[in-house]
Amino acid sequence: MRGAMVLAIAIGASAGAAPAQSWRTVEAFRPARSLDTLRVRVDYTVGALRVQAAGDSLLYRAQLRYDAERFEPVRAFDAASGTLNVGVRGDDRIPLRGSSGKEQGTLTLALASAQPVDLELDLGATDSDLDLSGIPVSRLVIGSGVSELSLRFATENPVVMRELTIDAGVASVTVDHLGNANAERMRVSGTVGRIELDMRGAWTGTREIEVVVTFGVATVRVPRSVGVRVTHSRVLGTFDAAGFTQRGDEYVNAAWETAEQKLYIDARTTFGSLDVQWIEG
């Protein structure tokens, strides 16, 4: 029946898996339908997460591979509110592949490209690859624990993103073509680890981003043609101001006054560092 959730379950032991593991795969999808906003809530504690565009024919598709001895799958869609909840519940103490040799679970999520998507992700010890190219994201909030997070916007977001927040713990965060996100407000924070932000993309006027780093390094890569203004408050933190002129509490580059694209960076570092690098593009 059109609009009904479709589930497929394949049960079996994974080849080479430990005897205590019972690997299962659950798939759910829903054909495209008209919604004001598709709200997606992901709660995924351990494993590999992949997010990509679903195309025009689907509202979403979710495929979850998990160890049934330790986890219970979550996949529910509320048609009245247009909200998809997906992820797992259970033992979140299993380390990622490489530290124990065990197979890790996976969640692959494809999202609609025909209407705005409000996306919240609560991530634990995950390896996350989020390709939001082609997805009209109206809001993006990511909270992550011990994780590797890669996010990219290869194409310009066709809708205004009213909020973009990434709050990382012990993590490596890489964002490619963040300038294509079309975000009104951007905030990226990390406790321990590194943050790399590539600001290439299409925008006019001024974009603002708040960067907060504790015991880590934040690198912001900016096209040479972009005007940049930086304010930096720090506690035993550093900022290499090469290429900037200081004006009171602010630093500006030579292109700030005349550039069509302007970026305001509000940075706070505690035992960390901020580095602005110039790139082509």
Map out the domains of the chain as residue ranges. 6-203
Residue 2: per-residue pLDDT:
35
Write down the pTM of the prediction: 0.89
pLDDT in tens, 109-139: 999 999 999 999 999 999 999 999 999 999 9
| The pLDDT of residue 10 is above 50 | no
C-alpha dist (Å) from residue 108 to 51, 123, 258: 6, 14, 44
Average pLDDT on 83-105 reads: 71
Average pLDDT on 45-57 reads: 94
Give Cβ neighbours of residue 181 (< 8 Å, ≥ 6 apart). Answer: 132, 137, 140, 153, 157, 161, 164, 201
Cα–Cα nearest to 46, from 91, 110, 109, 111: 91
| The pLDDT of residue 18 is above 50 | no
Query: Chain-wide mean pLDDT for the chain?
Result: 89
- 6-11 and 23-31 strand pairing: antiparallel
Residue 154: per-residue pLDDT:
98
Cβ–Cβ under 8 Å, residues 170 and 193: yes
Which of the 8 DSSP states describes residue 68? Answer: T
Could you give the CA distance from residue 236 to residue 222 in angstroms, rounded to a whole number?
Answer: 25
Residue 9: per-residue pLDDT:
35
Could you give the CA distance from residue 66 to residue 21 in angstroms, rounded to a whole number?
Answer: 9
Residue 221: per-residue pLDDT:
98
Which of the 8 DSSP states describes residue 278? Answer: E
| The pLDDT of residue 13 is above 70 | no
pLDDT in tens, 146-190: 889 999 999 999 999 999 999 999 989 999 999 999 998 899 999
Residue 120: per-residue pLDDT:
98
Residue 104: per-residue pLDDT:
85
Residue 92: per-residue pLDDT:
57
Biggest CA pair distance of the chain: 65
Residue 281: per-residue pLDDT:
76
Q: Outline where DSSP puts E strands in the chain.
A: 6-11, 23-31, 38-55, 58-67, 71-78, 83-90, 106-112, 117-131, 137-144, 147-152, 163-176, 186-198, 205-214, 216-223, 227-235, 238-239, 245-247, 250-252, 261-270, 273-279
pLDDT interval class at 100 (50, 70, 90)? very low
Of all residues in the chain, the percent with pLDDT exceeding 70 is: 88
Cβ–Cβ under 8 Å, residues 181 and 203: no
pLDDT in tens, 214-269: 999 999 999 999 999 999 999 988 998 999 999 999 999 999 999 999 999 999 99
Phi, psi for residue 43 in degrees, rounded to 5: -120, 100
